[in-house]
Structure 1
Amino acid sequence: MPELPEVAALTAFLGEHLLGAVVTKIQIASFAVLKTADPPYSGLEGKVVTGVRRFGKFVSLDADGLSFVFHLARAGWVRFTDSPTGIQLRMGHGPIAARLSFSGAAGPLGLDLTEVGTKKSLAVYVVRDPYDVPGIAALGPDPFSPGFDADALAGILGSSSQQVKGLLRSQGVIAGIGNAYSDEILHAARISPFAIAKTLDRDTVTVLYDAIHSILGTALQEARGKAPNELKDTKRSQMRVHGRTGQACPVCGDTVREVSFADTALQYCPTCQTHGKILADRRTSRFLK
């Protein structure tokens, strides 16, 4: 799933290539992807792209009073080309959920939103204001917004009985952090993913705040300037524990462990984060009693 660093890089890339381009055609090829009906998506055709903005993990293409907003969810991605084809998409066939065609200063441009797998979560909204999208209206503060400091994080954590892993992933609490970077942040801060947010003392909160900015800041620098087809590999290459189950922790050498859930999993280092304790996994917990 693309998170704040990848979505920020994608937003910058699309802004660089699409500002001033005219939307010539929009095709919706997935029954589930379009979440709005008014205004119609065809209303964007003929309009000029005036801005590309990021809201958490949402991207908004703004065009003369309308916005084409998309959220890539877990399995969505973007294909960008300066050599688009004129092929008409068939509804419900293939991985392409939506296709946007543009006329730029140097010629035609194309943008496909794709999604693999059977669980379809990619979402598209055509709205007059991005804040008309419920997910955007409900977003918590961005980690790099001016008002998000250690005191703000302390206030968020101190009022919650939620596990810190889940809290970091909650878009209504902090915008932009997902499963992968929450694993990396907690590993860098040496905090158990199952720690209860309000039990963290102020020194630990400060360490967590610094880890949020260190991990995301480094990932932003690595992603900056990359084309969409490079961003996934760039993200994977930066991971120390996420997606590294069974490998050696690069900090202490212990084996990276996993806790699996119904539709996701987290990774952590016992030595770095849980004082050596192996957290119970649903698949194997009966053997760890």
Structure 2
Amino acid sequence: MPEMPEVQGLVDYLDDRLTSRTITKATVVSIAALKTFDPPIDRLVDTTVCTVGRHGKFIDIVTDTATGDELHLVFHLAKTGWLRWYDTLPATLIKPGRTPIALRIAFDDGSGFDLTEAGTKKSLAVYVTRDPQTVPGIARLGPDPLYPPLSLDEFRALLAGRRTQIKGLLRDQSIIGGIGNAYSDEILHAAKLSPYAIAATLSEADTARLHQAMIDTLTTAIAAASGKPPAELKDAKRAGMSVHAQAGKPCPVCGDIVRSVFFADRSLEYCPTCQTGGKPLADRRLSRLLK
């Protein structure tokens, strides 16, 4: 799943190319992806892009209409969605049901992009709205960790009293916007904390270390994504991972073997030496440390 660093990379890439461009065509290929009906998506045609922004993991293409009103093309790439950019958009006809393409947007210079989604479970979501706060996922978002930077005091307040595992808290978009499964693994590894640690029980030193790890990990990942075209962002993400999706490989910090815990639709990765006092975590959702 694209997370904040890759989404920010896409935002920067699109903003450089789309500002002042006019939308000439908006083609919905997968009707299930379009979550709004008012305004209709064809209202985007002949609008001009004024900026591209981000809300958590949502991308927001802001356009001006001829009457001076704003329309927002907002989308969330979900678990298996992606953006495919074209300097020259293909002229081939898209056949619904025979393509991973969910949406195609064309611009007045011949460029454009497709939103694609692999697999059979379709979760990619597209919205056309006058106000991005009407998108339920955006309305529920917690503060962004970097824009503006979340202070240590603000971070402590978010954790205070929460009897939840810190891995789940970092992934909860209503608490902190933009962090998902991959970067929560990386942040916890950098902070030397177990993913099963309870947020409310962290010491002041643990909380400070976790906060700094969050800021540093995300800042470094965004710098790695900056300037890269969409086709290169996934490889850049993989190359920067210390533990996530690295099970069976040596930890780059201590050399211990990175381990996984599997759940129904995802896994987490961690280093026992760095994060759990050398003890492996049992491979079930509500596990405690093995004794």
Cα separation, 2, equivalents of 1:39 and 1:162: 40
AA in 2 matched with 1:23: I
The equivalent of 2:103 in structure 1 is 98
Kindly report which structure 2 residues correspond to 1:119-158, keeping only aligned pairs within 5 A, or say none: 119-146=121-148, 148-158=150-160
TM-score, L = length of structure 1:
0.95
Residues 158-197 of structure 1 mapped to structure 2, 5 A cutoff: 158-197=160-199
> Equivalent residue for 2:201?
199
Q: Describe the SS at the equivalent of 2:104.
A: strand
Alpha-carbon displacement from aligned partner over 1:106-148 (angstroms, at most 9, x marks no partner)? x211110011011111100000011111111111000013362
CA contact (8 A) 1:31 1:91 kept: no
Residue 72 in structure 1 maps to residue 77 in structure 2:
yes
Structure 2 CA distance for aligned equivalents of residues 117 and 85 of structure 1: 23
Match of 1:6 in 2: 6
Which of 78, 83, 95 in structure 1 is aligned with 2:88?
Answer: 83
**Please, which runs of 5 or more residues in structure 2 have no aligned partner?**
65-69
Q: Matched residue of 2:111: which SS?
A: strand
**Residue type at the aligned position of 1:98:** L
Q: Which amino acid aligns with 1:143?
A: P
Give the Cα–Cα distance (whole angstroms) in 1 for the partners of residues 54 and 149 of structure 2. Answer: 17
For 1:37, give the aligned amino acid. Answer: F
| Matches of 1:203 and 1:82, distance apart in 2 | 49
Letter in 1 for 2:265: D
**TM-score of the superposed pair, with normalisation by structure 2:** 0.95
Q: Distance in 2 between matches of 1:119 and 1:94?
A: 14
Residue 226 (structure 1) shift = 0.6
One-letter amino acid of the structure 1 residue matched with residue 46 of structure 2: G
Which residue in the other structure is 1:235 paired with?
237
**Percentage of pairs with the same residue:** 54
Code of the residue aligned with 2:56 in structure 1: it is G
CA-atom RMSD in angstroms: 1.4
One-letter amino acid of the counterpart of residue 91, structure 1: P
Match of 1:25 in 2: 25
1:88 deviates by 3.0
C-alpha contact (below 8 Å) 1:97/1:113 kept by paired residues: yes
5+ residue gaps in structure 1?
Answer: none
Residue in 1 that maps onto 2:67: none
Partner Cα distance (2:46, 2:216) in 1? 42
Once the two structures are superposed, what CA deviation does each residue of 1:191-219 show, in whole Å capped at 9, x if it has no partner?
00000100001111000000001111111
CA distance in 1, matches of 2:27, 2:91: 11
